[in-house]
Amino acid sequence: MEHISKMLQSFEGKNLNVVINDDETSLHIFNWPEFVEKHDELIGQLKGMSEEQMGDFLSTNSSHLMAIYDYFMDDDCIEKVENKEWMPIGVLGLSHPVDSFAEMGHAGILLLDLSADEENPQVVYFLDSEEQVIADSFGNLKITEQN
């Protein structure tokens, strides 16, 4: 799994395109374990708060994890991510630099299917509650850097 993290890291922060089903779309790669860690830190701050205080706090504080769950996944997808069967690696179709993942207009999310082969996982394309394996491995994706 570590080699996958290193490979993904080389794509983070770059303006990328990927070909999916013969269509080219923008791709923003991110570090999911880092998002989980930052989310856990945020949730840790809720300890000792009343429900009202939690609501107030969360109305002005959020995490990339929460936004990705809300805008890119359904309950079944979230369950697979939380059970560590799938790991999100990037979002598709955003036409701007990513400072927030709270985006209604997008083209889906890419995830690695860790359930069968954690060292060489297949790539899953997920959009509107539909999943599709689009590559046998991340290395088989057609990714280019935008100029």
Q: What is the pLDDT along the chain (147 residues), one digit of tens a residue?
A: 677 788 889 899 888 999 999 999 999 999 999 999 999 999 999 999 999 999 899 888 888 898 899 889 999 999 999 999 999 999 998 775 555 555 556 889 999 999 988 888 999 999 999 999 999 999 999 999 987
Angstrom distance (rounded) from CA 49 to CA 67: 22
Angstrom distance (rounded) from CA 86 to CA 114: 5
- Sequence-separated (6 or more) residues with CB below 8 Å from residue 83: none
